[in-house]
Chain A
């Protein structure tokens, strides 16, 4: 374990450093296999700084060496992988990963290792990789994309996903509150305090482990004491209040309509031992807040100068946070480069902590803010009207040696004598951007503030109120006043409380009066090698100022287009540090002003949230509800090979020991054709329709007529949608004059019940019909095959199954071996077939009784695949196989089931539309392959004319194809253009693998065309 050479002593001169650090304990962690140490309180970023490690990653496109820039959510560079095997998680911001004992972290986007990275060569060829490189290069030829893609996927990438299953658990929480305060800095706490005092139920969330925001690192006093003291007392008051819920390590990831907020609470990331004890790793909170106070603070922006991405260039606020909070120095000797007063706080804090500062370089010619004066008084050397123009490095760009500074004039002009300053880090500040993300997730609009040179919240239709820095209010007293008043006001809106407030209800604060900021969007480099220097705007995506200018030169005008063309502001940081600087660069390139250019769209999440949290407990066997039919246990005991049909599990086939699936299916089919088979058809959709207008409703939803159906009889019906396309089919039987039982497809049961309700409620509210889905109330079994009647007659009961008494398409109610049943004589196999339905509770017993009764008749259970082959041999359609939402009954040759007499039914008028009534539409036909052993793949395309390679004109597709043991060859159904006029033609089916299958178009009924087998 090495030492921590950059760790500062706890007490230096008048100040303290490492405020949150527990220096009494050392904890071990590793980075890229190297054993290092830190202290409780450290983040990975601060611990790496302490250990003198500046190089933490390689950039996305050019593989340039990169270091930590920020101290929080905005970090674009320091993305690391944390954890091992199933707990490995890529793309974590090192600035937000809290250190724990044994933490294993790795750098990303480098190969073979961080110090020597082959991809770095991209830097040398960077002129060949301009903005829009992928779009320009990989357009043509299309076939080469596979090659390019391989290269791109290997070269790019932001870490790898875990290859093992995630062992942790996640959960979802639901909550409501009167006031949700997002951000636990000074503004958030002040707002929470006044809202809570007004009696509102308040939730306060903050992404950090500790509340207080930047109170420990910004200038100003509250009640004449350091801000941290006020934070401490306020937090303890709030924590004790019953109506306040404080949440740390929680990000407000998204704000959605009607004040619905998505929070991610990281419960165990800082201490994985909690997860091992059973705590969920993350909680996803879904919070409905009456009012939201957005106290999300502001994000500092860097400055755009040559080689501003070198490790050691970091945000001024981050520099002082590392000193104040974590007790680490960002380097041995620094330069502060700024266009505003705030960076002087960094200069002061660093100087107090004994970190040597070479210079403060300020672009302003005459800065006069109070902090500037304080810095001068403290003996800090300040140069004005100057800019850092370039960074000189050693160690292949990984270590800063010095910076160049030169006189700067407004309008990004550099002139005069250049000077070199030795240093190894540069703290930069280009001003602050209010973190308006949440405000914009729904309808919030922002406006550009000329003084701040940033966008701030303007108006929103949602109940979200920005306060403090998030609202562009940086003056401490103004900020507290604004937050405190807002907290009271929104509490009043939410709970209607009337609390008298006076000025003394809020703490008084004071902060140094700040001078004006000078916008600087681009600092040109000096010297002959200007062209080779890169001015980075977006560090995470390697977008330079030159890329943006190129996009503008190539004609891009909309910032949304420029974003997508250059990849500006994409990926995990979503441009938190880059967006405004990019707009600034574009003002020059587009000869426009920032308010006219506008921002890109802010979308949730604010920072990435884990997939585990999104899934919550809905994983593994809780992912989906499973519906089981009554004989489910029997199916399991008899080695059923299940297939999912929606939420149902249905036996696909029942292989016997030694059987292949194919063997089992053929055996099951032949047993139906030659003896008898038993099918569990319980999943079949069943809907009862009852009421004086039930028949009228059926006439309107089916293409054929049901009002003429006699009690005890059934009829096959086709249901269309209003566009005229087939959407469901099935047999409906009349139980009584005013009572029908509708059968739907298994998958359609719920949908069709909803569909009927919709029509009854919204269009035909005059019809008196109750619609009752009863699918799960009944078990239903098909007994099919020549011996079917014998099996049923073997059982005690009061139903006469004889041919004379029990006609095809009729039903009887009675008892079978003691169970109440509804018996239907219907057939989906073309064999003599009955379907017996009994209340679900009797289903399992009746199933066993039927098997026993059929034992001497060769009964076998058959599954869904046998069912499908049996129906295909007969040319019966399956909705969803032969139809796909663009198919009419006439296309399927089912015109006989479409009434020409009825005035109206759903879809009738649409069937008359020219396109649907046109001849030569794709029509259902049968196919016999020339090689009888060859089974066509489902979906294979038929072509008009065979060519060497695509494109070929497509004239149809295979809808079902099987091996038929009954006819002893392959059979298929297909939708072929003008197919019914092409019987006997041979068509070509070129397959994916280059093979061409030839098949003859035939009638789709392959077996027992005259229907003799079920007519017994």
Chain B
């Protein structure tokens, strides 16, 4: 049961108080050029997702709090939330670019 802190309203809660929207920073091809979206581009947009061992950037929504979406960086090995950032912000430079490096990362405290 992950612990999450909403960066918008500050509410701290269990993952059941939030809603996970999956992988972040997937651009919608039709939003840029609706008449030139290849089948492959549309397929990738709809269905192709990363499944990294290590750092994963994802979208979350503060379902039982302020209702706002936000971004989070989470390590899929340690399940540690590394950072939160705004939903309109682009991905921050990765703190640990090599996912394997996070294998030995120790958490500072529970649920952070």
Contacts and interface: CB of A to CB of B under 8 A. Distances in A.
B88 interface: yes
A723 B2 contact: no
Contact of B87 (A259, A288, A723, A761): A761
Nearest to B110: A259
A443 B2 CA distance: 13
A762 B30 contact: no
Given A762-B59, A765-B87, A903-B34, A461 B77 contact: yes
B100 interface: no
B28 interface: yes
A510 interface: no
Interface in B53-73: 59, 61, 67-69
B14 A908 contact: no
A463 B88 contact: no
A443 B78 contact: yes
Contacts of A722: 46
Given A761-B87, A909-B37, A258 B68 contact: no
Contacts of A462: 107, 110
**Which of B21, B28, B88 has the most chain A CB within a 10 Å cutoff?**
B28
Contact of A289 (B29, B61, B110): B110
Interface in A884-934: 903-904, 908-910, 913-914
A762 B110 contact: no
Contacts of B109: 290, 463, 493-494
A565 interface: no
A913 B68 CA distance: 33
A290 B110 CA distance: 5
Interface in B85-107: 87-88, 106-107
Contacts of A763: 28, 31
Nearest to B69: A761
Interface in A741-788: 757-758, 761-763, 765
Interface string A430-462: 000000000000010000000000000000011
Contacts of A910: 42, 46
B30 A909 contact: yes
B93 to A, nearest CB: 22
Contacts of B77: 443, 461
A258 B46 contact: no
A653 B31 CA distance: 47
Contacts of A723: 46
A494 B37 CA distance: 53
A982 interface: no
A257 interface: yes
A904 B31 contact: yes
A618 to B, nearest CB: 14
B2 A257 contact: yes
A227 interface: no
Interface of B is mostly: loop
A493 B112 CA distance: 14
Contacts of A758: 21, 61, 69
Given A461-B78, A908-B34, A909-B37, A288 B110 contact: yes
Contacts of A904: 30-31, 34
Contacts of B39: 913-914
Nearest to A765: B88
Contacts of A257: 1-2, 79
B3 interface: yes
B110 A463 contact: yes
A260 B88 CA distance: 31
Interface residues of A, number: 30
A288 B111 CA distance: 9
B107 A461 contact: yes
Contacts of B35: 903
B14 A260 contact: yes
Interface string A256-277: 1111100000000000000000
Contacts of B28: 763
A982 B34 CA distance: 35
B21 A762 contact: yes
Contacts of A903: 34-35
A703 interface: no
A348 B69 CA distance: 66
Contacts of A259: 110-111
Contacts of A81: none
Given A493-B109, A761-B87, A909-B37, A258 B2 contact: yes
A493 B87 CA distance: 33
A60 B68 CA distance: 53
A257 B77 CA distance: 11
A15 B37 CA distance: 86
A903 B80 CA distance: 42
Nearest to B68: A761
A291 interface: yes
A913 B110 CA distance: 46
Contacts of B111: 258-259, 288
Nearest to A289: B110
Interface string B22-33: 000000111100
Contact of A757 (B2, B14, B46, B67): B67
A914 B68 CA distance: 36
A758 B29 CA distance: 17
Nearest to A722: B46
Contacts of B107: 461-463
B30 A260 contact: no
A260 B1 contact: yes
A462 B88 CA distance: 31
Contact of B1 (A256, A762, A914): A256
Contacts of A913: 39, 42
A849 to B, nearest CB: 37
Given A258-B110, A463-B107, A904-B30, A762 B37 contact: no
A100 to B, nearest CB: 35
Contact of B42 (A461, A757, A909): A909
A258 B34 contact: no
Nearest to B109: A290
Contact of B29 (A258, A463, A761, A909): A909
Interface centre among A259, A289, A765, A909 (most CB of B within 10 A): A909
Contacts of B3: 258, 260, 288
Nearest to B70: A761
Given A260-B14, A903-B35, A291 B1 contact: no
Nearest to B112: A258
A463 B110 CA distance: 6
B87 A908 contact: no
A202 to B, nearest CB: 15
Contacts of B88: 765
B59 A461 contact: no
B46 A762 contact: no
A494 B111 CA distance: 12
A437 to B, nearest CB: 18
A603 to B, nearest CB: 15
Interface string B1-45: 111000000000010000001000000111100110101001000
B42 to A, nearest CB: 5
Nearest to A757: B67
Given A765-B88, A910-B42, 15 more contacts: A256-B1, A258-B79, A260-B14, A289-B110, A291-B110, A723-B46, A757-B69, A758-B69, A761-B69, A765-B87, A904-B34, A909-B30, A909-B37, A909-B42, A913-B39
26 contacts: A256-B1, A257-B2, A258-B1, A258-B3, A258-B110, A288-B3, A288-B111, A291-B110, A443-B78, A461-B107, A463-B107, A463-B110, A723-B46, A758-B69, A761-B69, A762-B21, A763-B31, A765-B87, A765-B88, A903-B34, A908-B30, A909-B34, A909-B37, A909-B42, A910-B42, A913-B42
The 10 lowest CB-CB distance pairs between A and B, nearest first, are A260-B1, A904-B34, A461-B78, A258-B111, A259-B110, A761-B69, A903-B34, A258-B3, A909-B30, A256-B1
Interface of A: 256-260, 288-291, 443, 461-463, 493-494, 722-723, 757-758, 761-763, 765, 903-904, 908-910, 913-914
